[in-house]
Structure 1
Amino acid sequence: MIAGVALVRTAASVGVPASLKWPNDLLVGDRKAAGVLAEITADHSVVVGIGLNVGELPEGIEPGAGGLEPTSLAEHADRPLDRTEVATTLLDELAHLERAWRDAQGDPHASGLYDEYVRECSTLGRRVRVDLSEGQLSGTAQDLEVDGTLLVRDDHGVDHPVSAGDVVHLRVR
């Protein structure tokens, strides 16, 4: 949640409205501008990797998982971008959000992190397909648990908690 919100704030700082696709993508419109990977190490530390497309993209980049076309901040920014400035903003946002989360003893509600993530998450309320290791789940993304688990309501009205999986936003016909 921290990395996703930091990315949305960083995009906004250069005039780019963006949203989050659960669990780890930054979208500008329906195109992917960034991805986040997080891993818990043996000593229980969390290592976060962020890939943010800042500059103009070369021709011929293939769509990513779920058919998401790539984009970059430069394609949508209201001014020329300096990568150092963007990186500094992102790191400052990460530090600010992480400090607020720690000061709230890891409570995403008390820190305001949960509310901001939910507000910026374009997955919630949409029809989705979730590609899981055991198959696919289709339904509507209903809610987000405090631990980041996505609740997807299938077409039979049954809620399914999803803690990991590739989400594809489906178009309503």
Structure 2
Amino acid sequence: MVKQATLQSNKLSTIEDAKFAFDKLNIQHEITASAWRGQVEPAIEAARVTAPTCICLDLEDLKCFEPVERQYERWGVIFHNSLAIQPSNPAFPAYSGLTVLMGAPKSGFLEATFLHPVNSVSAFVTSSQRLVLSAYDRDRQLLAQTALPGSNLANSDSAISPNTLLSINVNDIYSVTFCAFDGQFTLDNFRFCF
């Protein structure tokens, strides 16, 4: 069973038991995006997006300890303070595959900026402490927040299982931050929808 934490604007943050299936979200188009290493035209242009489209990042093409910034730019997202790792610590298991993202070199913080506004952002997270996901508009004004209330490391006494889904659904998201306040965390299956 997967734990899910969600927040929409004007709603309180909750964590509840739920089976999460991407196909139950009424999403007409979903793209699994690989890291791209060459120069190409942007894959997503705002004018071409007419139906709900979601991008789920496939992190497996990234090299271990590779700084992640513009590898997914053609898919519409740029990362800041992000490192690809294949966790050797069993407390931080990957949700799928071997590779996850971690906030580094500054620990406990990771930011994603979108080239076009999105309406939904989610990721499976494992954290050593409380983790806050915040969404911002074009002017860096806070739109919404949700939080993992505490640690959810594997093989710990936490009531929250590792790889808990955090998501925010609000219009016109231009950037999101993940902040664990001096903690460590990993992200897997980073996903955003237009």
TM-score, normalisation: structure 2: 0.27
Q: Which has the higher contact order (CA 8 A, sep 6+)?
A: 2
TM-score, normalisation: structure 1: 0.29
Structure index of larger Rg: 1
Higher share of residues assigned helix: 1
Higher share of residues assigned strand: 2
